[in-house]
Structure 1
């Protein structure tokens, strides 16, 4: 039923993967699907934002996140699950939808959680937008 499962995470927020990762791993095993873990970083190239950072900042940030994502996958994804790591940039929900389309994902597994802080509200909003705009099935895990 599923061949490619997309799992958006934020390494800075354990709530973005603590429950959704085990769910995605189980689905990968059940359907012999591949797991595609995506981390989205903000687009520092925007004129308004980009002026506040040194030119090389975006590339260094992307490399650091790529390395952190590699370590996360190594520590949390068993070897029996085929996995691809993806670092995307832009608005979170847009990047998730773009990656889902590019890899032809069958399912997006995302976390959503109670909104206690402003940053949690943003995560919830991204999940909502992905559900509303995705042509791919989306499973929200709480």
Structure 2
């Protein structure tokens, strides 16, 4: 069915990440698919904001995220996976990563919708609307 699956994980949402591991892992095992996991570090925005953190804060965040992703894969996902860490707009980076690796399916988590989500649209909704791949949204 799918030979490559991308799991989009927010490590700050431990329960959501666990659900993505559960459903994404089952789908990958069922298909015998290669698994890729992406986590996106939000961009710092204006140079003034980024400079307030000093040094190579963005680089440090990326490296810490990569380390935490490997730990999450070992402890929660429990299957072999390729790690991708990027910085920028979350939904855009998820879609670009899926395109770059040739994924046929993306697994994303979604929070319970709030009023602002209907007006602005959460990252999961944007991935669903713009991705060329099949998208599994896990609640």
TM-score tier by shorter-chain length is 0.7 to 0.9
| Aligned counterpart in structure 1 of residue 132 of structure 2, from 131, 135, 138 | 135
- In the alignment, structure 2 segments of 5+ residues that lack a partner are none
Change (3 A) 1:13 1:132: same
| Structure 1: 4+ residue segments shifted above 6 A | none
- Aligned pair count? 136
> Which segment is superposed worse, 16-25 or 63-72?
16-25
2:12 alignment partner in structure 1? 12
- In the alignment, structure 1 segments of 5+ residues that lack a partner are none
TM-score normalized by the length of structure 1: 0.86
* Distance in 1 separating the partners of 2:37 and 2:19: 14
Contact 2:73 / 2:80 at 8 angstroms: preserved in 1?
Answer: no
In terms of fraction of residues, the more helix-rich structure is 2
* Distance in 2 separating the partners of 1:11 and 1:71: 11
Q: CA RMSD in A?
A: 2.0
TM-score normalized by the length of structure 2: 0.88
